[in-house]
Every structure is written in C-alpha cells, then in structure tokens.
A and B are shown apart, each in its own frame.
Chain A
C-alpha cells in the first residue's frame, strides 16, 4: 500500500510539473514576442512594460522564467490580470466558490440519481429496466450545452420554476440559481453512471458469491447492498470520479450558458480577451484539480478493491 501511494505521488508530481510547463510554455509558443501576448496586443505605457518585463523575467532564458513563474505560483502569486487590473490569485479565489459549488451539486446529482436509476433498472427487469436503458441511452449523448438550452427553455422560460441566469445571493437563492446548471452538467454523467451501475450490479448479482449469500439466508436487500452494490462500487466509483473530473473542464460550458461567474467562464472570457495571465493561472488551477481528482479516483479504486492494492493485478 505504502509503495503504491509513493508511486502515485511521484506520478502526480511529474504530471503536475509537465502540465504547468505546458501551461507556461504557451506564452513562449505564441507568435510574436511574449510582451505582445501578455498585453493581448494592447499598447501599454512604458512603465507597465518595464514592470511586465521584470515580473515575467522576459530578458532571461526560458527555464529561468518558468522556474520563477512556478515559484510564484507555488506561493500563490499568479500575476495580474491586464484586463481586470486585479491579482489573478484574488480573482481565482473569488470565482472558485461558484465552480466548486456547481461541480459539488452536479456530483451529488450524478451519484444519487445515477446509482438509484441504475440500481432500479438492475433489480427490476422488464418495463422499468427498458425505460431506464432507453432514457439513459439518449441522455448520455446530450452534451451539457444542449442540456443547458433545453433546461432553460423548459424550466426557466416555459414553466418559470427556476431562474435561468446569474449567481443569486445568499445560500437558498444560490442553490436555486445553481440547480439548472448542475442538472445540465450532471445529465449525461448521471446517465453514464446509471448504465454502469445497471450492468455491474447485474453482473455481480449473477456471481457465485451472491448465491452463497442468498443460500445463507441473508435478506435480499442486504445481499444487494453488502455484496452486489459493494462489489460494483469499483467500476461505479471509478466512472463517477472520472465524470466529476471531466466536469472541471465542462463547468465552463454551463457557466457560460447560465451566466455564472465561475472559473470556467473566467477562463473563456480571458481566452477571448487574450488576458494571458488569467488564462495561465486558471488553467493551472483547473489542470491541478483535474489531476488530483483522477489520482484520488485511482487510489480510491485501490482502497475499494483489496485485490488491486495487494495483488498488484486484479
């Protein structure tokens, strides 16, 4: 277990280092000189130019520049937004809450709705199963921007149940404002989780060890919970984790569609307005989160299945 965790940590560090290099190298890869990229083509007063040159070590070799940028990033200094004239770290701190709430809410929907629907289909062959299978087959192919449009059209504009735009103020209002975005973000993922839950619970229910449990007179609900669902938890958990990780990038879509001011929307705006410090900073944060979640998923799978950790191979 310990050696496994060490190996994962080393991999994690290597991945983060390379990702940060990719994020940073973008600046040098851009056509024209880095100063133009940093300023996004805006003409700047000479003292600002001098400040940027000093701050980004533009007169130094690439690796020195990268090292100083990474060092700054590690201390929480990600530069200044040219457009918003604000510290990128402060900007990220202000916007991260919305994205975190959105992804958390969506993840909750994915786990609860996905597992429930999949379990229902697995345990009720026939009509219920057919309906769930058909519905999830369609929903799984609906990308979040289409889901967002459909949800806005039906629940915000048509039925007027929930607000379509904005962040809302206060907890309750905030939750109300996040409900449709979270549903749009969760829809396809929940359908995918429902499908994997259905197939893997079915598979486990057909296994011999489940027969043993039934033969020992364990109540069926407990057999389903302690044996079928518990053993299916590895594929279900892995897929859920992967979809949650993918939401880190996809949240931007939903944030744009619903006019939420989260990290993703900030990144899109920065990319559109060539506010490169913000692009770098937000990309770094998102990639780090993505890598961390994926690592957690791997470690979690190893914890859930003793055969992976101790046997090395399943």
Chain B
C-alpha cells in the first residue's frame, strides 16, 4: 500500500508547491479579498443596502458614503458589499454541483468503459446543444425566476464540458499500474475511485473549478441582468447593472459600471488563477479551449466521444 500513499501525496504536494507567479498571487489576493468582504459585508457596510432616500438619488460620494448613491438613493458601497454575497455564492453552488456531477459521470464512464462510456459520451454530446444562459431562461420560465432555478440550470449546462474534460484524465489515470495493483489486491471499485482516482485528479478538478467559477459568475450575472435570477430589490451585481442601466442613459453610470467592474475584476482573477494552478496544464492547454468558453462553450471538441 505504500506506493499508493506516495501517489496520493504527490497529488497534494503539487498543489502546495505550486508557484502561482506574481500575477497568479495577485489574482489569488483579489479572490481572497472579495471573499472576506462578502463574508464580513454587513459588518463593514456603511448603510442599509435597501434603505432608499429619493432625495439623494444619483447623489455623488459624501462623507460616510464613499461611492455615492444609486437612482433610488441607496448607498452604492453597501449594495456592492451586499451584492458580493449572492454574486459569489451563486457561482460557488453552480461549480460545486456541476463539478460533483461531472466528476462522478467522468469517473463512472472511464471506469466502466464499454457501452456505459459510449452512452455517457453520446449523451454529453447531445447536451452540448444547450447554452447555459438559454437553459436558465427556459427553467426560469417554467419554475419562475430566482437564483435557485438559475443555479441548477447552469450546473446542468456545465456538466457535459466538465465531464468530457475529466473523462480523458480519468481514463489515463485508470490505465496506470497502481490502479491495476489495487485491483489485484482486491480493493473495491468505489474505494479505488474515491480514495485514489479522485485525489489524483484533484489538481485538474481544482483548476477547472476555478475557471468555471468565472464563467458561472458571468452567466449568473446575465440571468440576474435579465431579471430572471436574483430578484430586486435584493442587491446582486447583475441586478445592479440592470437597474443602473437607466442611470447610464441619464449620465450617471456609477452603479452599472461599479457592479460590472466588480464582475470583470473577479472574472479576470479567476481566469488568471485557473490558468496558473498546477492542474491547468493537464486540461489540454490549447488556449481556444479556454477562451472559447463563453455561454455556448464547447470544450475539447474532438477529445472525447470520437
């Protein structure tokens, strides 16, 4: 069993040793700051994010209100901090759901092989047909608007991309001698998968999760921008861009641009981080696979189901 422990340690060790470089470290810093602000948000908040005072609509920054007010006279900083919570929590749920389902599918397909693998691959090929945002709109129409429906819809739409990517890696891992050795020793399939395959795929999973966090953030913000996700008056960066639209037209772009800017900064941070994590190289580093990931994304086109 010693060989196996070594294999597991190698996986964890690569993460720890990873040099992110100055840009990657800065990106990690941005993410950490955003998370801290989101968690501590209400405590730091200078005002009630939902208290409106029409007298100060579109008012410029004032003492105690460093970013000024939106069109309904609500404090912008308070709303940005409040919005950070849903804007980060939503993508987190999407990524957790889609990664869990995608990893399970990928490993099951790679492990079983044969018809199950073929069936999963074919099914994934078909589900590629649904751009995440479109599926979210459909789901919102059926179940009513809300963050929950959007999260589930996006998670479902992401699964094929994740599963397809991980299936290749899982297949390679499954072919390694240590897996054969474990099987010979009589270890169960589930135990091998959970204790050895998943930990060894972890760097790749972490890198992909980071990249998809950025994509999920944009897609969720789009759904909220449509009015089909987080519902006003709750603050959310996507909602704020939508409600800031009338401000932009009247020459008060602060709300829309601040909220949009928060999304852009975090998306850049997640992209930079995801591309520098040790598992990123294993994700088939063709740049168009990554940059191509927008709503209608197709990763690893000829990679899997051929």
Contacts and interface: CB of A to CB of B under 8 A. Distances in A.
Interface of A: 11, 14-16, 18-19, 22-23, 26-27, 29-31, 37, 137-138, 140-146, 149-150, 152-153, 156-158, 164-165, 188-189, 192, 195-196, 199, 235, 238-239, 242-243, 245-250, 252-253, 256-257, 267-268, 270-272, 274, 276, 279, 283, 286-287, 290-291, 294, 298, 308, 313-314
Q: Tell me the interface secondary structure of chain A in the complex.
A: helix
Contact of A270 (B141, B143, B257, B298): B141
Given A15-B126, A243-B294, A196 B137 contact: no
A26 B295 contact: no
Contact of B226 (A192, A256, A314): A256
B225 A26 contact: no
Contacts of A189: 294
B199 interface: no
B249 A165 contact: yes
B19 interface: no
A107 to B, nearest CB: 13
28 contacts: A15-B126, A18-B127, A22-B130, A22-B138, A138-B268, A143-B221, A143-B264, A145-B260, A149-B253, A149-B257, A150-B253, A152-B249, A156-B249, A157-B251, A189-B294, A192-B292, A196-B287, A235-B288, A238-B292, A242-B288, A246-B296, A247-B296, A249-B296, A252-B137, A268-B227, A271-B145, A294-B296, A294-B298
Given A140-B291, A153-B253, A271-B138, 11 more contacts: A11-B125, A23-B138, A26-B138, A30-B142, A157-B248, A157-B251, A248-B131, A250-B294, A250-B295, A268-B137, A290-B131
A133 B142 CA distance: 43
Contact of A246 (B125, B264, B297): B297
A187 to B, nearest CB: 11
Q: Tell me the interface secondary structure of chain B in the complex.
A: helix
B298 A242 contact: yes
B125, B128, B221, B225 pick with most chain A CB within 10 angstroms = B225
B260 A149 contact: yes
A239 B129 contact: no
A313 B268 CA distance: 34
Contacts of B253: 149-150, 153, 157
Interface of B: 125-134, 137-143, 145, 214, 218, 221-222, 225-228, 238, 241-242, 244-245, 248-251, 253, 256-257, 260-261, 263-264, 267-268, 271, 286-288, 291-292, 294-298, 301-302, 306
A23 to B, nearest CB: 7
Nearest to B144: A274
A253 B222 contact: yes
